[in-house]
Amino acid sequence: MKEIFDRYSGGSNIIVLVLDFETLDCEEAIATNITRSGCRIRDTSHSEKNKLIGLRLSGLDKMIKGKIRDILDDDVRVSFLFEDDTKREKRKEKRRTVSIAASVLPGHGMPPVSCQIVDASLSGCRFFCNQIDQLPDTIALRIPGMDLPVGGSIVWRANGYAGVKMNWQFSGKTEFMAAKTIRPPSLAEKAGANGSRKKALVKQPHIIPAR
């Protein structure tokens, strides 16, 4: 079976989910020119050079970490940062103030608990919850725009607040190269399903397994 970049290379327009790690904002955009090392993204609000983002492509079980390298007229150029590369880029994390209504999934048969995420970064976030003392150390967060919860570990809690280390699952280069392609929805098919070329969230294979 062809490798994933063989199916997606060239001028194909692929619907992807783009995640901003610093704000936990998740949006739908269009990826094209996908190669072994990167791609271009159109229709995205993320246009900050050197910004780290997460990309979810159909055919992969994990998210790809990417970095915006260039801002072009109609799109941005993104380089893939694979987890198994021997040389890893070091970058000081930004912690952004946010206000996101989310849900904590405690597991163990416990029902979801509402929370408010108040700041976020690549490695974790901080949220407020009225039932903070009743939550286990290992949880999952259901964040708007993401179709599956994100696993996390509570590392501290005080006065209704908790600090959470996010357990993001990123693809390595070996996984990316060996991924079996899943035919992505075309723009025409999406337009036909909606009666117009309006974007709609497409169910994707899971990439962020809860722990």
The pLDDT tens digits of the residues spanning 23-68 come to 898 888 998 888 888 999 998 888 889 999 999 877 677 888 999 9
Same domain flag for 68 and 18: yes
pLDDT value, residue 159: 94
In a domain, 41, yes or no: yes
Separation between Cα atoms, residue 151 and residue 169, nearest integer Å: 9
Separation between Cα atoms, residue 63 and residue 96, nearest integer Å: 21
Separation between Cα atoms, residue 128 and residue 116, nearest integer Å: 5
In a domain, 204, yes or no: no
If you average pLDDT over residues 167-195, what whole number do you get?
59
Which of helix, strand or coil describes residue 24? coil
- The average confidence (pLDDT) of the chain is 78
26 with 16: CB under 8 angstroms? Answer: no
Q: Provide the number of structural domains found in the chain.
A: 2
In a domain, 209, yes or no: no
Contacts of 183 (CB under 8 A, 6+ apart): 7, 58
Assess whether pLDDT exceeds 90 at residue 104.
yes
Separation between Cα atoms, residue 66 and residue 53, nearest integer Å: 5
> What one-character DSSP code corresponds to residue 177?
H
Same domain flag for 113 and 176: no
pLDDT band at 203 (very low <50, low <70, confident <90, very high): very low
pLDDT band at 86 (very low <50, low <70, confident <90, very high): very low
In a domain, 202, yes or no: no
- The answer, as to whether pTM is greater than 0.85, is no
End-to-end CA distance of the chain: 31
Same domain flag for 174 and 79: yes
Kindly report the backbone phi and psi dihedral angles of residue 199, in degrees, each rounded to the nearest multiple of 5, phi listed first: -75, 145
pLDDT value, residue 76: 94
Residue 162's domain is classified under what CATH number? Answer: 2.40.10.220
Domain of residue 22 covers 4-83+170-194
Same domain flag for 127 and 61: no
